Amino acid sequence: MNRLSLTDISLKVWAVIVFIFLFLPIAVIIIYSFNEGRLLVAWNQFGFGSFGAIATKPAISDAVLVSIQTGFIAALIATALGTMAGVALARRAGKWAPWFLILLILVTVTPEIVDAVSLLPWMVFLGQDAGLSIFDDGIVRLVVGHSLFATAVVAYIVRSRLIGIDESLEEAAADLYAPPFKRFTQITLPLVMPAVLAGGLLSFTLSLDNTIVSAFVQVSGSTPWPVYVLSAVRTGLRPEIAAVSTIMLLLTLAALGLVAYVLRRAGDSPTDIAKTVGGG
Amino acid sequence: MTTITESPPASASGPRAPRSRTRRLKLPSFALAIPAWAWLFAFFVAPVALVVWFSFGYKPGIFGTHANDVLSFDRYAEALSPTFFATFQNTLWVGVVGTLICLAISIPFAYWLAFKAPVSRRGILLAMVMIPFWTNFLVRTIGWQIILAPSGLLSEALQSIGVLNEPLEILFTRTAVLIGVVYNYLPLMILPMFVAFDRVSLPMREASKDLGAGRLSTFVNVTLPLAKPGIIVGILLVYIPLMGDYITATVLGGAKGNMAGQMVANQFQTAQNWALGSAMAVVLVLTILTTVAIAALVAWLAAWPLRASQRLVLGGES
């Protein structure tokens, strides 16, 4: 009995240590966002100066706006493409399906840096050599770059949800002569709605977080927030960066909470939610 | 199940049934996947293929970035020359050690979360694992920069309790990169492993104990094998992005903690040698694929005697 509880206690201690490890840098960023010093790394004294300084620096709010705008459009595209692909994979899988799955897996396992260095010459080629000037636009480039991984993630989520749902409702609709499009919008889509919403919000956060691809494909004038931070890493980090990060952390938490709420209402257990939010 | 809805129009699609034929033409089974397929082809397959093509070219003069009129494997030889090879070695070291540390941290943690943590609080605990995962990657790495800096939190704390007599010199070394990557990719190991442990049903483990197996024996012979798929997913989810990491090494690595991702980025952004950068990117991807294949082979071979022995034990008991 004694040995038994000893294992349990050490496991619990381990869990506490892991949680401290997981939250340490986040806590540090939140605390340091109240740093009144000139440089982020050197703590001076407590104050709200950095939050006030955000308003005086248009570059910061511009970068955050670019990020939000990009995230929104990228999430819409990834959700639309990924949902259709996920439905096709779950309901109409034919000989093509394994090949398509391989493509999706390749998209997810390719290191982001490889995506980034391939998209840069490709955008230059499309925009200048092929004359498609739309690809010279900063937002378009960012949206394209952010939508790839997200499309694959949405497709996985939608597919795994739909596979778990019996197809009888859709069959009944077909038996009652509902045309395919109506069957899709009125039966299939409502069934997968929780997965679609979760996928959309995940795409949005993935886009907000994207640094590597953004750093390569961005055009000056539409710098997204993470790239702004990355250039500040090289030139000197100031407390405003931590302040904006704290605000954005709260926004991300709100988005995550919303995902969990939607999935919870759809009847998922915490484990299912973890699976969905974990991307597979 | 799909065949039921599709078979009536398919069987009636002879020359006599033009109406159902058009309906079938309107919706081939992969129609819904076409937009995603086309999108990924245009912006993933094509650009990556272009980079592979660049890797066989060369850099023409100071102002050119790439040329492909003479094709060769020279850029690959250059990418594997001693200077760059050391960085690939360094990347591989960080990748393998980092993944192993994540594994060592995650197994007891995920086990605790799946079997020991109070069920009512499991949702909130899982959410707590996910919060760092969804905090901006770059920002949490900067958090580590603050912690590990010579005048930073950890350094001062260690000095005040007398463990260290001088400032901590850990930032901008390989160790700092290792701490950073373990931190950044840990949730990707914990989540699939938790899901895998969670699937191993309690009755299964109880049956093992009822048959006289100890706790450790149950864990090694029942829980771990059943959770294997999730553990493998976790290892891949950590190892693959870790090998291509660019941000952690940039923020915490400095000159001593260089990784392959930075090297590729430098060729494209600073050196403007797209041909060499492309070859490095291809080498990086091949390194990842080869090491995963080798690891899979080793694991399979290592499990061979174990599988044989287990089969014997089971056979002997029944």
Q: What is the ipTM of this complex?
A: 0.85
Query: In this complex, how many residue pairs, one in chain A and one in chain B, have their CB atoms less than 8 Å apart?
Result: 279
Residues B167 and B216 in one domain: yes
Judging contacts by C-beta atoms under 8 Å, the chain A residues touching residue B2 are 91-93, 167
Q: Which of B112, B151, B195 sits opposite A14 (nearest CB)?
A: B112
Q: Which of residues 70-89 of A touch B (CB under 8 A)?
A: 77, 80-82, 84-85, 87-89
Q: Would residue B65 count as lying in a domain?
A: no
| Same structural domain, B123 and B262 | yes
Residues B89 and B225 occupy one common structural domain? yes
In this predicted structure, what is the pLDDT of residue A145?
95
Report helix angle B174-199 to B228-243, nearest 10.
150
Last residue of a domain, one of B12, B34, B54: B54
What is the overall mean pLDDT for chain B?
82
Q: Please indicate if any CB of chain B lies within 8 Å of the CB of A134.
A: no
B16/B118 same-domain check: no
The C-alpha R_g of chain B, in whole angstroms, comes to: 26
Q: Do residues B90 and B173 both lie within one domain?
A: yes
Q: Would you say B171 and B277 are in contact if contact means Cβ atoms under 8 Å apart?
A: no
Name the residue among B132, B142, B151 with its Cβ closest to that of A233. B142
CB atoms B40 and A19 under 8 Å: no
Same domain, B166 and B309: yes
Residues in CB range of A68: below 8 A, 6 or more apart: A208
Mark yes or no for CB contact B30/A94 under 8 Å. yes
Q: Tokens 């998922």 sit at which residue?
A: A268
Q: Each residue of A169-222: pLDDT tens digit?
A: 788 888 888 887 788 788 888 888 888 888 898 898 889 889 999 999 988 889
pLDDT at B312: 47
Question: Same domain for B126 and B218?
Answer: yes
B120: domain CATH number?
1.10.3720.10
pLDDT for the residue A80: 95
Structure tokens at B201: 């049903």
pLDDT score, position A14: 95
Q: Which amino acid is at B134?
A: W
Give the type of residue at B90.
N
Rounded-to-integer distance, Cα A63 and Cα A24, Å: 27
CATH 3.40.50.10490 is the classification of domain A57-277: no
Write out pLDDT tens, residues B194-233.
888 888 777 777 777 778 777 777 787 778 888 888 889 8
Position B50 pLDDT exceeds 80: yes
pLDDT of residue B161: 85
pLDDT of residue B315 exceeding 50, the answer is no
- My answer on whether B213 and B277 are in the same domain is yes
Residue spans per domain, chain A: 57-277
Is there a single domain that holds both residue B104 and residue B235? Answer: yes
Q: Residue B60: inside a domain, yes or no?
A: no
How far, in Å, CA of B85 to CA of B256, rounded?
14
Residue B153 lies in a domain: yes
Q: Please, which pLDDT band fits residue B169 given cuts at 50, 70 and 90?
A: confident
Give the span between the Cα atoms of A3 and A66, in whole angstroms: 57
Instruction: Judge whether A230 is closer than 8 Å to chain B, CB to CB.
Output: yes
Tens-digit pLDDT profile for residues A238-266 = 888 889 888 888 877 887 777 777 777 77
- The one-letter amino acid code at B289 reads L
Pairwise CA distance, residues A253 & B131, whole Å: 7
- Does the residue B75 lie in any domain? no
Contact A149, A119 (CB under 8 A): no
- Residues B111-132 have pLDDT tens digits of 999 888 888 888 788 888 888 8
- Residue A277: band (very low, low, confident or very high) from pLDDT cuts 50, 70, 90: low
d(CA B6, CA B57): 50
In this predicted structure, the answer to whether residue A163 has a pLDDT above a threshold of 70 is yes
Task: Find the domain containing B38 and state its range.
Answer: 2-54
**pLDDT digits over A119-135, tens only?**
999 998 898 888 888 88
Q: Are residues B134 and B172 in the same domain?
A: yes
Same domain, B185 and B277: yes
Domain count, chain B: 2
> What is the rounded distance in angstroms from the CA atom of residue B112 to the CA atom of residue B301?
30
**B143 closest CB neighbour out of A25, A121, A277:** A25
Q: Which residues of B touch A242 (CB under 8 A)?
A: 139, 142
Q: Cα–Cα distances in Å, from B47 out to A118, A125, A128, B42, B295?
A: 5, 10, 15, 8, 29
pLDDT score for A273: 64
B130, B48: one domain = no
Beta partners for residue A46, in sequence order: A35
**Token pair listed for B43:** 């912006």
Name the residue in chain A with its Cα closest to that of B263.
A113
| Whole-angstrom distance, CA of residue A157 vs CA of residue A173 | 24
